[in-house]
Amino acid sequence: MSTVAELSIAAPEARKAGNWLLVATVILLCVWVLLPIYLLIVNALSSPEQVTAFPKRFFPSFDFGSLSFFINFAGVAKALWNSVLVATLTMLLSIGFGAPAGYALSRFDFPGKETFRFLVLMTRAFPLPLLALPLAVMFIRTGLDDTAIGLALVHTTLALPFAVLITFSLFSGIPVELEEAAWTLGCTRLQAFRKVILPLALPGIAASAVFAFTISWNEVFAAAVLTIENRTLTAFLLQSLGESPLYLKFAGGAALVIPALIFIFAVRKYLFAMWGIANR
């Protein structure tokens, strides 16, 4: 407190001006992020006639015409359901495969550890959605084509590296002594994990699960390549871009954005920790 006071005595004018500039820039940047989203929402909450009319109003009329047209449009409800299904499967797969690997990396030193880390890091140097192209053929042979699980498998390659790195840092942050104490008190390895480590790691695991869900929910290219009848919402919107009316596009865009906003809000505490470890 005292240092702040001293400094402001030293150069009160300049410091005040600097502070104003700082706050003004931050507010400007916030507006830059929020305003486009607001405009999309305005469109989604206007009637179809208002969306195509000119000039536009900058405030929503809270007419649900566009949204109800979107929800009742052939294929939308199914696409929404497919998106949720694929994202849920992706979430389960990436945590199911990723968390054990993250735990192993945090607790053991063993030959091959570096090779595995390299494999995980390597995935980041690749445009992964492209791998959907060869997989499309493989899936037709194995009967996985146009299924939710097939697409979820591809989305898991996107989400798994994150799940491994995030759970690795989570488990590294829990002292191994806690586990050892449980062993000396007669717990088996599995019991110690379930009763001591898991409760501590659960919020972080949930956050990385939400993250995996979001990755799948937002993915466009692989979804458009791998699904035909069982399109996800992104694939549906992409493939109807050419012919669908504006109000359908904007309502669809809002349907994609609103859940994403909630997901990011839910994991906000973990966002920076997650990307911090992505550095190493």
Partner 1 sequence: MHGKALPYLLLMPATLFLCVFFLYPFALVAFEAFTRDGGFTLDNFRTMAGSWKFPVTVRNTLLLSAIVVPIQLVMALLMATMVSRLETGRSTALYIFAIPLGISDLAAGLIWLAIFDQSGFLNTLLSNLGVIDRPVMFLGYQSKLTIFIAVALAEIWRATAIMMVILVAGMGLIPREYYEAAEVFGASPWKRFIKITLPLLRPSLQTAIILRVILAFEVFAVVAALGGTNLPVLMGETYNWQFTLQDRNVAAAMALFILAISIGFTLFFLRVLRVPKEARI
Rounded to whole angstroms, the Cα distance separating 262 from 249 reads 21
Is the CB of 112 or the CB of 186 nearer to partner 1? 112
For 264, the token pair is 């990011």
Q: Quick check: 225 binds partner 1 (CB under 8 A)? A: yes
Q: Quick check: 37 binds partner 1 (CB under 8 A)? A: yes
Rounded to whole angstroms, the Cα distance separating 261 from 253 reads 12
Q: Quick check: 149 binds partner 1 (CB under 8 A)? A: no
| Interface with partner 1 (CB under 8 A), residue from 8, 39, 172, 179 | 39
| Interface with partner 1 (CB under 8 A), residue from 22, 77, 149, 176 | 22
Interface positions, 238-277, toward partner 1 (CB under 8 A): 238, 241-242, 246, 249-250, 252-253, 256-257, 260-261, 263-265, 268, 271-273, 275-276
Q: Quick check: 137 binds partner 1 (CB under 8 A)? A: yes
Q: Find the Cα–Cα–Cα–Cα dihedral 119, 123, 126, 127, rounded to 10°.
A: 160
Q: Quick check: 231 binds partner 1 (CB under 8 A)? A: no
Q: Quick check: 205 binds partner 1 (CB under 8 A)? A: no
| Interface with partner 1 (CB under 8 A), residue from 56, 77, 142, 178 | 56
CA atoms within 13 A on the CB side of 221: 9
* Burial tier of 215 (Cβ tally within 10 Å: 0-12, 13-18, 19+): buried
* 254 alpha-carbon distance from chain centroid: 16
Interface positions, 174-193, toward partner 1 (CB under 8 A): 189
Rounded to whole angstroms, the Cα distance separating 160 from 93 reads 8
Q: Quick check: 144 binds partner 1 (CB under 8 A)? A: no
Q: How far is the CB of 158 from partner 1 (least distance, A)?
A: 10
Q: How far is the CB of 213 from partner 1 (least distance, A)?
A: 10
Q: Quick check: 140 binds partner 1 (CB under 8 A)? A: no
CA atoms within 13 A on the CB side of 231: 18
Q: How many residues bind partner 1 (CB under 8 A)?
A: 95
Q: What is the full DSSP assignment across 166-205? A: HHHHHHHTS-HHHHHHHHHTT--HHHHIIIIIHHHHHHHH
